[in-house]
Amino acid sequence: MKKTLFFLTVLLLFSCETKKQKAFVPDSSGNINHLTVVMKKSSWNGSLGETVRNEIATVYEGLPLDEPRFTIRHLVPEAFTGFGRHGRNIIWFRKDSLNNFQLIQNQFARPQILAIAQGEDEEVMAEYIRQNASLLIETFQENERKEKVRRIKKSLTKDKDLQQKFNVELSYPSAYSTAKDSLNFLWIEKPIQKGSMNLIAYSLPQKAFDKPSLKRVIEIRDSVGKDHIPGRLPNSHMITEAAYLPYFYKTTLAGQKAFLTKGMWEVKKDFMAGPFINYMVQDSVTKNWIVVEGFAFAPSVSKRDYMFELNSILSTLKFTRGE
């Protein structure tokens, strides 16, 4: 690699503000969590393609089997014209004497994130990917989350159970319906071909989670599972799978202090299991905790897109007190 290489990361968020400009930008296309990579076939089969796959198509957290964050479609430069440019997420590799890396918004379609890695040789372009992998992943994922929420809002539920019970709101499709509504617990479910996708919500007093930790999250989940989420067999209920160490993060949701846990659930005394994503969100007014969780039961099939949908729904949480 040339020693004179400068790593330049430029985030260019070009947007067409006027209605006249918007008319010339077509809608982007593609399935959720898909990414187009434009480079020569020989590069795709060589070290540059391997770098992209290793750095960008990393493992999606919290699934029972490894699945990549993105499904990558390779496109040769000759085919990168017309409709081929309408993908929502694109990385375009170009050989040029000027070394440069940039992110451009809505260049050929809307919404779209276009990353351009330009360099005098493949080693330069590969280094741009290694240096900016986290930025690319974060930007593409946020682009996909926004797109998923946009699609969800096309057919929103009219149910107000969450708002009436906990003074919170989630944007979720009308395909979900309330499966269980009891004291301080709500279970919302959507049937899928081989199982179900589920949302649950409940509240906790401040003292129940005054010392946040993964251990305490597991204790709370297992207690709620025992009381509210039975299995198919007598005396069976949901628990947190002990063999799989969950991810645990401090974060924010709806502008409030929150803790995020991703892991695996199973049903005690039954053969049922799957991934879950759990947010414990502190209400800044009451100091109590609102817990919202998504979990999927989908045996023998890929679960990435199911969990991405549930996480996208949970990301829309907002407090509605006083409305």
Query: Which residue segments constitute the domains of the chain, with CATH numbers given?
Result: 9-152 (3.30.379), 156-319 (3.40.1000.10)
pLDDT-above-70 percentage for the chain:
92
Whose CA is closest to 176, among 198, 161, 194? 198
* 116-174 pLDDT tens trace: 999 999 999 999 999 999 999 999 999 999 999 999 999 999 999 999 999 999 999 99
Arithmetic mean of pLDDT, 164-190: 96
pLDDT for residue 322: 57
How far is 312 from 131, CA to CA, in rounded Å?
Answer: 27
- Which of the two residues, 300 and 307, has the higher pLDDT score? 307
* 77-127 pLDDT tens trace: 999 999 999 999 999 999 999 999 999 999 999 999 999 999 999 999 999
pLDDT-above-90 percentage for the chain:
88
Whose CA is closest to 298, among 222, 191, 201? 191
- Whether residue 22 is predicted with pLDDT greater than 90 in this model: the reply is no
pLDDT for residue 321: 73
pLDDT for residue 23: 53
Mean pLDDT of the chain: 92
pLDDT for residue 14: 41
Query: pTM here?
Result: 0.90
- Whether residue 6 is predicted with pLDDT greater than 70 in this model: the reply is no
Q: In this structure, what are the phi and psi dihedrals at residue 208, rounded to the nearest 5 degrees?
A: -70, -20
In this structure, what token pair is assigned to residue 241?
Answer: 């799978």
Q: What is the 3-state secondary structure (H, E, C) of 260-315?
A: EEEEEEEEECCCCEEEEEEEEEECCCCCCEEEEEEEEECCCCCCHHHHHHHHHHHC
